[in-house]
Chains A and B, each alone.
Chain A
Amino acid sequence: MITQDEVVKIAKLAHIKLSQDEIGKFQTQLSEILEYFSLLKDIDTTSVREDVSINGLSTILRQDIPNSYPLDQSVVYSNALGTENDYFKLDSKVL
């Protein structure tokens, strides 16, 4: 069982705000889920090969040159809170 303090700590790490009710609810639910995960402790994984690739892909690299399909800057900013001089802009009170 994880504690309410642990739930609060994880939520803080993830920048998630929880109400007191949510802290209680997630404490119960996460505890059940984490308890279920302990099933994996039974498996001996010491001999599992590190080089087994799931998707048959190895590290994918490309030349360090700009690609030919950039998005236009104005398009990239189209969902932003605000922009100024090609930067994302926040309310000045925040910073």
Chain B
Amino acid sequence: MILELHKKLKAGNISAKELAEEYLKIAEDKNKVLNSYISITKDYAISHLPDKIESILDGIPGCIKDNINILSTNTTAGSQVLKEYISPYTATVISNLDKFTLIGKGNMDSFAFGSTTQNSYFGPSLNPHDINTVAGGSSGGVASAVAAGSAVFGIGSDTGGSVRQPASFCGIVGLKPTYGLISRYGLIAMGSSFDVIGIMANTVDDVALILNEACKYDPKDSTSLNIKKKIDYSKFSDISKLKVGVLKFNDDGVEKDVITAFSNSIEDIKKLGCSVKEVVIDHLKYVIAAYYILVPSEISANMARFDGIRFGYHPKGVKDLEEFYIEARSKFEDEVKRRILIGTYTLSSGYYDAYYSKADAVRRLIKQEFDEAFRDVDVIVSPTSPTVAYRKDKVFDNPLELYLSDIFTIPANLIGAPAISIPNGLSCDNLPTGLQIMGPQLSELNILSLANKLYKKYG
């Protein structure tokens, strides 16, 4: 889709301004129902149009998750605390995408804590496949925008599945690259040793084209990978010799339609000529416990910067500095408070070894086990999410219930590996299911190539 649009723009069949206006109109119309965008950046889009079309993304309409800074735009991270915040600088990933057209900032769970967008201060984003269901999360607004056709592509962030799960729910493609492949400079931090910037689009080709532009070494992010050999991710490789591992998992809590769609995709993989074998990860049942100790620990440290002085909510009429801090942080949404409390507990004196150190050791154990598995197979496939999109009125009284649904996406974040979610057929209720393909670090070309062969477009 991007390549076609690029050719039209280059040939002058349509101008960047006309394309921007077309997508801005769709965004404004659809946002009334879907709530994909926290802000639609019409003035910004029209005042930043490319003079001429050079790079592949020049003039291509995109939606950016609202935790990624773009100079002079409102960046809320889906939270009341930052509802007035204006970005003082631009994230590297945005600069790397040249003169794409910013349609708007995508809705998200507050500070990216959640998987429904119900935690957003601005209300949930709905799923274009069925507006009685949510778009998923935390990058749900971006997924909703791309699936609804108000943006050609989207940029999100993925700490435990926040790009892949909403991509699965909305029937689009979502890539979580290797940790460090795309600079995090300008992304509002959640769990710094897990966070990656991810890419969403309607096709695997489009995701690959965006990855080509997005992944440049950045000295502003000390964990940015400096890869000497430039890979063209849009030149897919031959996958007929690929060794595909099929993740063995417990069926409990995995919806029947998801299992059926997954089983069908294994047959499709065999038809491509790939060899298929089962992969058992003994420590799979521990990944959620390890993740939900380590990430809240990192969150509690990262969220300490919200002191109300430099940015965020500025309280008035308080008696001393202590009360100032407490009032400034009183505006955090429920899930933010919950994760800060968990992280403060697991890092506190007397509990640090039992929780944080233990989970960190388990993370390394899981990493070792996946490393061994990847000596035998090139990629590992699983469903992306155990369920299709949740009903928009579903209430999760027990937060643990929602945490457990991250079972398939979390491993890639724990081990810093790339994984992609692609549309994998519809459930009986016509809701999308997703197939996840995960590989060892820096195996993006393999997983994109297989994803491109398996990708099924919904009619």
Binding site for B on A (CB under 8 A): 2, 6-7, 10-11, 13-18, 22, 26, 29-30, 32-34, 36-37, 39-41, 43, 45, 48-49, 52, 54-57, 60, 62, 67, 69, 71, 75-76, 78-81, 88, 90-91, 93-95
Binding site for A on B (CB under 8 A): 84-86, 88-89, 179-180, 193, 219-220, 222-223, 283, 285-286, 288-290, 292-293, 300, 308-312, 314, 316, 318-322, 324-327, 329-330, 332, 337-338, 340-342, 344-346, 348, 355, 358-359, 361-365, 367-368, 398-400, 403, 414-416, 441
Distance between Cα atoms of A60 and B288 in the complex (Å): 29
Give the contacting residue for B223; candidates A15, A30, A57; CB below 8 A. A57
Are B320 and A94 in touch, CB under 8 angstroms?
Answer: yes
Using Cβ atoms and an 8 Å threshold, which residues of chain B touch A49?
364, 368
Are A80 and B310 in touch, CB under 8 angstroms?
Answer: yes
Are B89 and A81 in touch, CB under 8 angstroms?
Answer: no
Are A52 and B441 in touch, CB under 8 angstroms?
Answer: no
Could you list 13 A-B pairs, sorted by A, with CB under 8 Å? A13-B348, A15-B329, A17-B326, A17-B329, A26-B337, A29-B400, A32-B398, A52-B368, A55-B180, A60-B222, A79-B86, A80-B311, A90-B321
Q: Chain B residue with minimal CB distance to A51?
A: B364
Are A54 and B364 in touch, CB under 8 angstroms?
Answer: yes
Are A55 and B358 in touch, CB under 8 angstroms?
Answer: no
- Is chain A's binding surface mostly helix, strand, loop or mixed? loop
Q: Knowing A30-B341, A94-B324, A95-B321, say if A37 contacts B355 (CB, 8 Å).
A: yes
Q: Knowing A55-B180, A56-B416, A79-B311, say if A17 contacts B327 (CB, 8 Å).
A: yes
Q: How far is the CB of A64 from chain B (nearest CB, A)?
A: 14
Q: Chain B residue with minimal CB distance to A28?
A: B398
Are A54 and B310 in touch, CB under 8 angstroms?
Answer: no
Are B398 and A29 in touch, CB under 8 angstroms?
Answer: yes
Q: Knowing A10-B348, A26-B341, say if A55 contacts B321 (CB, 8 Å).
A: no
Are B364 and A30 in touch, CB under 8 angstroms?
Answer: no
Distance between Cα atoms of A7 and B219 in the complex (Å): 41
Using Cβ atoms and an 8 Å threshold, which residues of chain B touch A17?
326-327, 329-330
Distance between Cα atoms of A67 and B185 in the complex (Å): 14
Q: Chain B residue with minimal CB distance to A26?
A: B341
Are B341 and A10 in touch, CB under 8 angstroms?
Answer: yes
Q: Knowing A56-B416, A94-B324, say if A16 contacts B332 (CB, 8 Å).
A: yes
Are A11 and B341 in touch, CB under 8 angstroms?
Answer: yes
Q: How far is the CB of B391 from chain A (nearest CB, A)?
A: 22
Using Cβ atoms and an 8 Å threshold, which residues of chain B touch A91?
316
Distance between Cα atoms of A26 and B398 in the complex (Å): 11
